[in-house]
Amino acid sequence: MKNAVCAPLVLMIFLLAASGAAAQSGECNAIPWGEPISAVEQIEFSHVGDGVHYYRVTKVEACGLSKIEDTRVTYGFRNNRLYTTIVEIDKARDVGDVIALLMDEYGLPDHKKDGGWDIYQWDNDTLRIKLKSQYTTDRIKIGMYYKPLMGKE
């Protein structure tokens, strides 16, 4: 998995394991990175920002992190192809476990503090993963970005 051309919800499966939940039989039906919007069922338009069209997921299979945390999932499409998945958790059960799991999988992140948030970032050939955490509220935002669809930085 270190190469991570994985389906976007695979992160949720990793987070499920980090939280000590029992493994489930079967897999989630996540859409692969770069797939067209037509591959996603039951989503609702949210907004547009920086050329990315964001859609809230209105039906999420109970898999991965969704089984144990109250999550909100948003998909972002650039040029009509899946570019980003954003997962938000208002009260994470264990922020430290989530960060530790990502470190086990992707190595040491870059880290900085900004406006009351701790921001951790991992990069590999195909993905950028950014985790923003507010320890005072246990709030977490996790963004996964498909690098082949990223604009010039």
- Condensed to tens digits (0 to 9), the pLDDT of residues 71-110 reads 778 899 999 999 998 888 877 676 777 777 778 878 899 9
Distance CA 63, CA 77 (A): 22
Residues in the chain, total:
153
- Condensed to tens digits (0 to 9), the pLDDT of residues 98-151 reads 777 778 878 899 999 998 899 999 998 898 999 998 878 878 888 999 999 987
The 3-state DSSP class for residue 72 equals strand
Query: Would you state the pLDDT for residue 58?
Result: 74
Instruction: Please tell me the pTM assigned to this model.
Output: 0.75
Measured CA angle at 62 (ends 128, 139), to 5 deg: 50
- Condensed to tens digits (0 to 9), the pLDDT of residues 56-72 reads 877 655 454 444 456 77
Query: Would you state the pLDDT for residue 64?
Result: 47
Distance CA 2, CA 25 (A): 23
- Condensed to tens digits (0 to 9), the pLDDT of residues 1-56 reads 333 444 444 444 444 333 333 333 345 556 788 999 888 777 899 999 999 999 98
Query: Would you state the pLDDT for residue 55?
Result: 92
